[in-house]
Amino acid sequence: MAKSISFARGAPSLDIVDVEGLRAAADSAFTADPGGMTAYGTAIGYPPLREWIAERHQVAPEQVVVTNGSMQADAFLFDALVQDGDSVIVERPTYDRTLLSLRQRGADVRMVELEPDGIDVAAMERVLSAGARPKLAHIIPNFQNPAGYTLSAEKREVLLELAGNHGFTVFEDDPYVALRFEGAPLPTMLSMDQSESVVYASSFSKTVCPGIRVGYLVGPAEVIARVVKIATHTYISPNMVSQAIVHQFCLSGALERSIENVRNALRERAETLCEALSSELPEARFVKPSGGYFLWIDLPRGTDVGALFEAAAERGVLFVKGSDFVLAGAESSLRIAYSGVTPAEIEEGVKRLAEAYEQVRHAETVDAP
């Protein structure tokens, strides 16, 4: 079989990880604060990094908790805010792990359609008017996983208004924000919030590296205090060594250089992907992403993406089926992650994907009664 090409995993390739910058940051950290980074910390996270994050978001340090990756932060937040049977609004499609995490906690998950400019706020209003009393609305505002779409400034305002009027928390899950490769950045809902309606999450997985496992939450001090208490009971303190390394990486300027490097690579990969799809697989409908890792493809209605998955896998090409990101449906859709593949791999991968599509389409035609 030909060399495997994975469009499946939302992770960076090693060439866009600043290994030398990390090595230097580790060395600096062991010099700058050997005591602080080797001792047990507390569940708030490594204090200098917590302060750095607080300053970046213009909030008090008491509004920040730094965790072992942002998935762990999500889990703590859900433990703090979501009880069995509580209603939670999520985007359709949305990140499969969030969906699973909420359903495991017994949440009544309501999916609201995601449009190219973000969640359908009119549909959300209808759900709320019909009597839904959500505790939380989970929103990935920038370069959404899996769709790659970005929430417009107007819809950010509407969401905050709905949250204020209906008394729910907007969980602004924003790991991709720094990875914008075109257009102007939009303000976070956290920064626009006047009524303590937002808890914001982000991470260094996409700007430093995933293996360092450093994520964080920013929110009302009272909510953060509850999360810190749960975190204390779970693990005493998160990883101080890796948080001190991230802190030095930020201080040294390596973070900004790394972000620039990642953005440039992603821009090139996204362009290559869109061009290859347009020429090799013209049946694919998609919105060209302006940042992040992902592109969502809708194939003609009736296309069996389950069969496409098998046919692509036979050709060594992996992707994630659209149906993984919804409760039901999305059977003619798929997610392509372009973060872990080079432009050459993208071209080759799309060529094979198009071949797989031809095979599946042909089989369907033959099978038809």
Bridge partner list, 298: 285, 333
Min CB(38)–its own copies separation in Å: 4
Q: What is the CB neighbour count within 10 angstroms for residue 191?
A: 15
14 binds its own copies (CB under 8 A): yes
Q: How far is CA 181 from CA 69, 142, 143, 178, 291, in A?
A: 24, 12, 11, 9, 5
Using rule CB under 8 A, residue 75 touches its own copies: yes
**How far apart are CB 9 and its own copies at their closest, in Å?**
8
Q: Could you tell me which stretch among 81-89, 173-181, 229-237, 252-260 binds its own copies (CB under 8 A)?
A: 229-237
Nearer to its own copies, 286 or 294 (CB): 294
Q: Compute the chain's Rg from CA coordinates.
A: 21
Contacts of 122 (CB under 8 A, 6+ apart): none
Query: Do 330 and 113 form a contact (C-beta atoms < 8 A)?
Result: no
Structure-block tokens of residue 48: 């200098």
Per CB under 8 A, 26 contacts its own copies: yes
Least separation, in Å, of the C-beta of 210 and its own copies?
A: 4
Among residues 142, 242, 248, 333, the one that binds its own copies under rule CB under 8 A: 242
257 binds its own copies (CB under 8 A): no
Residue 112 or 244: the one with the smaller Cβ distance to its own copies is 244
Largest CA distance in the chain: 73
Please report whether residue 261 would count as binding its own copies according to CB under 8 A: no
User: Which one of residues 136, 189, 212, 262 is an interface residue with its own copies (CB under 8 A)?
Assistant: 212
Among 2, 4, 27, 165, binds its own copies (CB under 8 A): 27
205 is a site residue for its own copies (CB under 8 A) = yes
Which residues sit opposite 60 in a β-bridge? none
Task: Rule CB under 8 A: say whether 175 interacts with its own copies.
Answer: no
- CB-CB contact of 172 with 201 (8 Å): yes
Cβ closer to its own copies: 277 or 337? 337
Q: For residue 28, what are its two tokens?
A: 């600096």
**Residue 241 near its own copies by CB under 8 A:** yes
| Single-letter code of the amino acid located at 188 | T
Q: Does 363 bind its own copies (CB under 8 A)?
A: no
319 contacts 294 by C-beta, under 8 angstroms: no
233 contacts its own copies (rule: CB under 8 A)? yes
Query: Number of residues in contact with its own copies, rule: CB under 8 A?
Result: 46
Rounded-to-integer distance, Cα 44 and Cα 237, Å: 7
19 binds its own copies (CB under 8 A): yes
Q: Which of 367, 49, 72 is nearest to 228 (CA)?
A: 72
Q: Contacting its own copies (CB under 8 A), which of 64, 80, 121, 209? A: 209
30 near its own copies, rule: CB under 8 A: yes
Residue 2 Cβ, how far from its own copies at the closest point, in Å? 22
- Cα 49 to Cα 54: distance, rounded to the nearest angstrom: 8
Tokens 């995490």 appear where? 101
Is residue 35 within the footprint of its own copies (CB under 8 A)? Answer: yes
Phi, psi of 110 (to 5 degrees): -115, 120
Residue 196 CA to its chain's centroid (Å): 23
Q: Which residues 86-105 are close enough to bind its own copies by CB under 8 A?
A: 97, 100-101, 104
Select the span of 160-168, 231-239, 271-279, 327-335 touching its own copies (CB under 8 A): 231-239
Side chain identity at 221, as an amino acid letter? Answer: A
69 binds its own copies (CB under 8 A): yes
The strand pairing partners of 139, in sequence order, are: 172
Which residues are at the interface with its own copies (CB under 8 A)?
9, 11, 14, 17, 19-20, 22-23, 26-27, 30, 34-41, 68-69, 71-72, 75, 97, 100-101, 104, 205, 209-213, 233-242, 244-245
